[in-house]
Amino acid sequence: MQQKVLEIFQELFGAEGDIRSYFSPGRVNLIGEHTDYNGGHVFPCALTIGTYGIARKREDRKIRFYSENFSRMGVFETSLDDLVYHEEANWTNYPKGVVWAFKEKGYVADTGFDLVMYGNIPNGSGLSSSASVELLMGVILVDMFGFEGLSMIDLALLGQYAENKFNGMNCGIMDQFAIAMGKENQAIFLDTADLSYEYAPIEMKGAKIVIAASNKKRKLTDSKYNERRAECEEALADIQKQMDIKALGDLTEEQFEEVKDAVKNPVCRKRAKHAVYENQRTIKAVAALKAGDLETFGKLMNASHVSLRDDYEVTGKELDTLVEAAWKQEGVIGSRMTGAGFGGCTVSIVKEEAIDDFIKNVGEIYEKEIGYAADFYVVEIGDGSRRIG
């Protein structure tokens, strides 16, 4: 893969000079969904699939981007003097937003660069290809321009800042954090209230993580996502009239049950319920995993899906079909939607000997119900964004 991207770079932009190679993973969240902008916990991990980038500094102020995933769009050309969102700049608004975010925070690139990318994260699958690209760009900028004093967590925050302010998606910190801080075979138990975190080894005793991509075209994801976020904020504001809390993640289930009537709008009350219960589920799930109780972990994953379906309402027919079919299969320890929802993918923990049947059976049910096929990936947990050559 790396070699192929290098060849594309050389063909497009020439083989001379200091050409460097980078990799940035995708991520999957095991549990803790829509909690990261509510001061709650998440439990994601980085994957071994991701985005490769080959880059070289220029002497002028031009920036040229090309992605083999969007080869039909060709080379996009911009410059350090045009760090502005343009609809027609399409996917390049993600890396450009990061260059802009660096500049906003005082890390000013003094020359442009050429960059070729190629990713093996399925497009629009909900495995966070955008955050992968953001962190790739962050690592490239630090490495090529020698910016000092930026930790990987700072790069995650810069990526989120770019996504929020440049691309208008009010995402939390989970994706960028997982991608920046990923570690082979470990998931990250992150408290988004203060960014404290710990790594937890994923030992699954003969089971594997299987991702099913719904292949549903994800329209309106960003606007619906921002709407959910606003509903949680409304619920929090109502609760704060009665209780001194900073975020919904501060509440236990019992506290929420006591105070829930303070939330006037019943829709916002349901959203808040999910945020509170999902946070507690995540804490319990990690404790179960640490105790070697994978079965409880799986049950909590299932409960997470039910809550995302009924209270948070971000699943939809495609994700529900995949998960409900998965629950019926032999050897499935747990299954749920993962990521923002409204499309995207599901994550299941499946015993190795059952994986082939799982893919066959769930695939058939999905195609019959939905009318087109899902794609399945057995994934491995890998390291965070880095230079590779």
Q: CA angle at residue 277 from 276 to 279, to 5 degrees? A: 70
Q: Which of 50, 122, 138, 339 binds ligand GLA (CB under 6 A)?
A: 339
- Which of 175, 191 has the CB closer to ligand GLA? 175
Taking CB under 6 A as the binding criterion, the range among 1-9, 34-42, 48-56, 106-114 that sits at the site for ligand GLA is: 34-42
Q: Is residue 29 left, alpha or beta, with left meaning phi > 0 and alpha meaning psi from -120 to 50?
A: beta
* CA gyration radius, the chain: 21
Taking CB under 6 A as the binding criterion, the range among 29-37, 65-73, 132-140, 291-299 that sits at the site for ligand GLA is: 29-37
- Per-residue x/- mask for ligand GLA, residues 123 to 162, rule CB under 6 A? ----------------------------------------
The gap from C-alpha 78 to its chain's centroid, in whole angstroms, comes to 27
Query: Does residue 34 touch ligand GLA according to CB under 6 A?
Result: yes
AA identity, residue 170: N
Q: Which of 138, 172, 249, 384 binds ligand GLA (CB under 6 A)?
A: 172
Number of residue whose CB is nearest ligand GLA = 171
Query: Does residue 30 touch ligand GLA according to CB under 6 A?
Result: no
Query: Does residue 278 touch ligand GLA according to CB under 6 A?
Result: no
Query: Does residue 311 touch ligand GLA according to CB under 6 A?
Result: no
Measured over the CA atoms of residue 58, residue 59, residue 63 and residue 64, the dihedral's sign is negative
Between CA 136 and CA 180 the distance in angstroms is 9
Taking CB under 6 A as the binding criterion, the range among 30-38, 104-112, 137-145, 351-359 that sits at the site for ligand GLA is: 30-38
Active-site annotation holds for 175:
yes
Q: Which of 340, 349, 350, 374 binds ligand GLA (CB under 6 A)?
A: 340
Catalytic residue among 36, 114, 175, 320: 175
- Which of 112, 341 has the CB closer to ligand GLA? 341
Half-sphere exposure of 276 (CA within 13 A, CB side): 25
- Which of 12, 193 has the CB closer to ligand GLA? 193
Taking CB under 6 A as the binding criterion, the range among 32-40, 90-98, 200-208, 321-329 that sits at the site for ligand GLA is: 32-40
Query: Does residue 175 touch ligand GLA according to CB under 6 A?
Result: yes
Between CA 368 and CA 345 the distance in angstroms is 18
- Which of 89, 308 has the CB closer to ligand GLA? 308
Q: Which of 5, 25, 36, 182 binds ligand GLA (CB under 6 A)?
A: 36
Q: Which stretches of the chain bind ligand GLA, using CB under 6 A?
A: 33-34, 36-37, 171-172, 174-175, 339-340
Active site residues: 175
